[in-house]
Amino acid sequence: MFNTPFVLLFALLLTLPLVILFAPRILPPRRVTISLPDELDDLALFRRAARSTVHRPGSISRLGATNAKPKIAFLFLTNTDLHFAPIWEKFFNPKKSKHRNFNNLYNIYIHADPDSDVKSPGGVFENRFIPAKKTQRSSPTLISAARRLLATAVLDDQLNAYFALVSQHCIPLHSFRYVYNTLFRPRIESTRFPAPLSFIEVLSEEPQLWDRYIARGKNVMLPEIPFDKFRIGSQFFVLIRSHSLIVINDRKLWRKFRLPCLNVDSCYPEEHYFPTLLSMEDPNGVSDYTLTNVNWTGSVNGHPHKYTPAEVSPELIRRLRVSNSSFSYLFGRKFSPDCLLPLMNMTESVIFRG
Ligand SMILES: *[C@@H]1O[C@H](CO)[C@@H](O)[C@H](O)[C@H]1NC(C)=O
Ligand SMILES: *[C@@H]1O[C@H](CO)[C@@H](O)[C@H](O)[C@H]1NC(C)=O
Ligand SMILES: *[C@@H]1O[C@H](CO)[C@@H](O)[C@H](O)[C@H]1NC(C)=O
């Protein structure tokens, strides 16, 4: 009695609301793409930052003229409130007078995802938020955010000499004085690294490397990035100023790394862009290891182990400092937000003692 097209149409109309209702649960979340205006905006910032450090012939560098001490720029990359701000506050402003020589030898810059309504913790973090854009896991937006932080810090203060990228889940494992002395201690004793060095993990033997390489499609990384130049490493690093400038000035690799991922499960652009770029441009200037201890044992879904309050103890802090390199780990990740109280309880007695 009804003809078939009519029944089909009716069925379609009936299922439409169901599709609309369930689509967000079935379909993967929409990927954040980098728009042309955003790209141009970033480019303008990078150009300004690169120009700011060009030394014109005959001019005296401000650093030499004032004889001021170099600083560490701390770059906080976050999409939530800064859970451990009270610990960092104590790190930057120790009460003990013997640390007074190290006052103000740092700058802080925060890139907070604008959609996540991050509140300023005040104190040393007040007014340190930089113009930020949306970030998303498994997309090149995390590379852009880190580059924005580097460029802003390069531009802001000529004295910024080291650039340490950290997240809201990171904590310091030592006092500021210890961190400063570690980074700036003379390296004449080291024959391999006589000059200042960037600390970034650079690995080439990881089993997942090929899947990561082809995550944007086969052969798309060529010719700029052949597979044997493709690297993986830690998302969080400490770079020297000249390497920050290499990152800010790069257009060639960025053109490839900004391509959207087709295989989102194998896509962590920020773990590849920085180690690949720096190992191509200055292989002898990077340590190949990181100063941020991350526990990948039993990782789930690409997330490292997240420490809970029950695991926090003086023993844990001491264990996290131990590394195979000649440097102690300076930072640790990742800690769940409720670790704040037990950690605060041992700042003076453990974390900042040494
Ligand atoms: C690393 O994480 C595993 C659980 O995934 C845990 O058993 C181990 O104790 C952690 N390592 C350290 C140094 O805490
Ligand atoms: C140091 O290296 C050895 C051998 O490669 C490894 O078994 C050990 O887990 C490493 N320790 C740390 C703290 O990374
Ligand atoms: C604080 O440290 C003391 C001494 O180490 C310990 O007895 C106490 O349980 C700790 N409190 C918290 C909240 O961790």
Ligand nearest to the CA of 297: 1
Kindly give the distance from the C-alpha atom of residue 182 to the centroid of ligand 3, in angstroms, as a whole number: 29
**Ligand 3: nearest atom to the Cα of 345:** 1
**Mean pLDDT of the 319-328 span:** 92
Q: What is the pLDDT of residue 26?
A: 47
Are 311 and 235 contacting, i.e. CB atoms less than 8 angstroms apart?
no
Kindly give the distance from the C-alpha atom of residue 345 to the centroid of ligand 3, in angstroms, as a whole number: 6
Q: Does the beta carbon of 97 lie inside 6 Å of ligand 2? A: no
Kindly give the distance from the C-alpha atom of residue 305 to the centroid of ligand 1, in angstroms, as a whole number: 7
Residue 11 pLDDT greater than 80, yes or no:
no
Burial classification of residue 158, based on how many CB atoms lie within 10 Å of its CB (0-12 exposed, 13-18 middle, 19 or more buried): middle
**Mean pLDDT of the 242-264 span:** 95
**Mean pLDDT of the 128-149 span:** 95
| Interatomic CA distance for residues 313 and 307, integer angstroms | 11
Weakest-pLDDT range from 8-22, 94-108, 257-271, 331-345: 8-22
Cα pseudo-dihedral 135, 141, 142, 148, rounded to 10 = -100
Taking alpha carbons only, the member of 179, 171, 107 closest to residue 331 is 171
The domain spans of the chain are 34-353
- For 78-124, the pLDDT digits (tens) are 999 999 999 999 999 987 656 667 888 999 999 999 999 999 999 99
Ligand nearest to the CA of 296: 1
Q: Which two tokens stand for residue 279?
A: 């190992």
Residues 6+ apart with CB under 8 A from 197: 187, 240, 285, 286, 287
* pLDDT mean across residues, the chain: 88
